[in-house]
Chain A
Amino acid sequence: MSALRIAQEEKGWLSSETIEFVAKYLEMPAIAVFEVASFYNMYDLSPVGARKITVCTNLPCALSGGVHAADYIKKRLGIDFNETTPDGRFTLKEGECMGACGDAPVLLVNNHQMCSWMTEEKIDQLLEDLKK
């Protein structure tokens, strides 16, 4: 799992070639590696933008504005969930519980950077920073 994570960090997403490379490196059948890659949500099996933003809309977050935050980002970026901006900078995803419900609204940037208590102002700021 760590090998796939590292490969994804380097390549941006997991293509068939990347999965085959990891399989070879681990001396495992490619299908066994693909099984793992397709099972876990945080692996991307199709190209994503330079920044992947995942917003949690699960119930505890939704009660504290998770859906509003997601709607606001959709409006700002002009895309819906599972879409990428035409310039390839941003992809938006809907996420499941990230285990930070007290910090709602919560979002993840590129799987690893968690942003808490995202007001509209903080979202604006984040998007500006990420464009740099």
Chain B
Amino acid sequence: MSSQGIILSGLDGDRTWRLADYIKRGGYDALKKIIAEKLSADHVIGEVKKSSLRGRGGAGFPTGLKWSFMPRAFPGAKYLACNSDEGEPGTFKDRDILRYNPHAVIEGMIIAGYAMGCERGYNYIHGEIFEVYTRFEEALQEAREAGLLGKNILGSDFSFDLFAHHGYGAYICGEETALLESIEGKKGQPRFKPPFPASFGLYGKPTTINNTETFASIPYIIREGGDAFLALGKPNNGGTKLFSVSGHVNKPGNYEIPLGTPFADLLEMAGGVRGGRKLKAVIPGGSSAPVLPGAVMMDCTMDYDSISKAGSMLGSGAVIVMDDSTCMVKALERLSYFYFEESCGQCTPCREGTGWLYRVVHRIENGLGRPDDLDLLNSVTANIMGRTICALGDAASMPVQSFIKHFGDEFAFHIEHKKCLVPQDVQREGSKIYVA
């Protein structure tokens, strides 16, 4: 974990998640400022818009704009949800934020509640990180006891309460409407959009869902101003961002850096490629983002626009690094199995298509590939994409398309020679148990 940013910085102590520690770091100053200066909701949303903060969960949608969609004058309940259901392979930033700086998320959510007139919020935490859920509950209790949550916050007439909710092992619940279904206690199957959550969300009421890191960025924006946040990054890509670097690097972990930092610098921070091997490929934004060849990545900067121009997406900022010991067919086989396993089964193209993708990649990997299998894979992805309720169909298809596009030779070799281009012992050596 290392930081040149605002969320993970100053977290050197061993009790950084405690309220007292957070307050020492300037925590809850933003909330106090809003209450003391009676800042208007429009002013708060204006600062967030100015900051050019874009959603950190994967889609990169401008947060200020999203907040302005909420019908603030709507009478009755309005809700806020935080998406900490971090299950996208390669992503592990929200876990560290919640482990070491949970109050930043709580403060961000209180401010969001103030700006959008919500009376209640939920933080949906990935089931597998149950210890984090327990810690977040403790942090909520601290905040309630300090009068920062609940009725009449800091003596004002603004009330907001916040609750933790845990998942129990379903990738799909990271999709925002599936997440809402899950909070309601149902199985997490995505809803049709429209209506969008801003008009029909949790329990049918207007709801805004943001990612953990997005909320954790809010206190800084209010305290220091939207312009200051924007200046940390580059135009249209405001602020610093956490990148979770995993795979074949010497120092895997979370790195908080300004948006627009060259990929080469990030790779160096993460200790470079293991064992002096050559960089082969990088998935820059979580397993659903299209893979890019190493050489292309070395020319990219880490921000939404640069990665998008190179043909992929920044997504959640999960950077999966693969060196030349990696068999790309095997890598894709594992990802395809994941999407097959995690498809919720609601839409036929995804439910059946992900099975087809996995089975065909599996047979290629196991020496049973047929000459027209690559065309078959491309045709299956074309039949999934854009034909499902949620983005999981696209998420399952993009890796397949991009692996074939950039590493088609390796797939063709597999089909023709019935074995890997990369020798088995090299693969084993490259992906053995590694501890930094």
Contact = CB atoms under 8 A, between A and B. Distances in A.
Contact of B131 (A1, A41, A97, A114): A114
B130 A68 contact: no
A111 B185 CA distance: 19
Contact of A1 (B91, B182, B253, B287): B182
Interface stretch (B150-158, B240-248, B293-301): B240-248
A18 to B, nearest CB: 15
A99 B86 contact: yes
A97 B169 contact: no
Contact of B434 (A43, A59, A64): A64
Most buried by A among B95, B320, B321: B95
A67 B87 CA distance: 19
A101 B128 contact: no
A68 B433 contact: yes
B405 interface: no
A94 B320 CA distance: 21
Interface string B116-142: 000000000011111100000000000
Interface in B156-184: 165-171, 182
Contact of A42 (B89, B127, B254, B435): B127
B326 interface: yes
A36 interface: yes
For this complex, into which size category does the number of interface residues on chain B fall?
35 or more
Interface string A88-120: 000000011111111111001001111001111
Contact of A114 (B128, B185, B430): B128
Given A60-B246, A111-B127, A97 B168 contact: no
Interface of A: 1-2, 4-5, 32, 35-36, 39-43, 57-60, 62-65, 67-69, 95-105, 108, 111-114, 117-120
Interface of B: 86-92, 94-95, 126-131, 165-171, 182, 185-188, 244-248, 252-254, 287, 318, 320-322, 326, 331, 334-335, 338, 341-342, 344, 430-435
A-B pairs with lowest CB-CB distance, top 7: A65-B433, A41-B169, A42-B169, A39-B187, A98-B128, A101-B246, A60-B246
20 contacts: A41-B168, A57-B334, A58-B338, A59-B90, A59-B331, A60-B247, A63-B321, A64-B247, A65-B431, A68-B431, A96-B171, A96-B341, A96-B342, A98-B87, A101-B92, A101-B318, A101-B320, A102-B253, A111-B127, A114-B131
